[in-house]
Amino acid sequence: MDRLDELLSEAKPYYKARKRNRRLAAITSTLGAFVVVCGLSLQNFRQTQSPIYDLWIDEIYQAENGSVIEDMGLPTDEYGLLEVI
């Protein structure tokens, strides 16, 4: 019985340290996950536009709503396609 008490008293500091380290690891990983989730959600709130889109917005609008071929002065049909004469 004395040997068992001796082993328990020897192992007690290691057990407490291991328990404290596990708790600290759990808190750290939870906090890290929270920071990642907050960072990703904040990134979704930011609305970014590409600088290329800002520079070419008029050309994109014209290409979507008009005929580039017609703007070049070439003959087009009613759909804005090149008309072969």
* pLDDT tens figures, 12-51: 888 888 888 888 888 999 999 999 998 888 776 766 656 6
One domain, residues 58 and 43: no
Average pLDDT, the chain: 80
One domain, residues 2 and 41: yes
Q: Are 71 and 62 in contact (CB under 8 A)?
A: yes
- Give the C-alpha separation, 53 to 64, whole Å: 14
* pLDDT tens figures, 46-70: 666 566 666 677 777 766 777 777 7
One domain, residues 41 and 65: no
Phi, psi of 76 (to 5 degrees): -130, 160
pTM for the full predicted model: 0.40
Domain range for 57 is 49-85
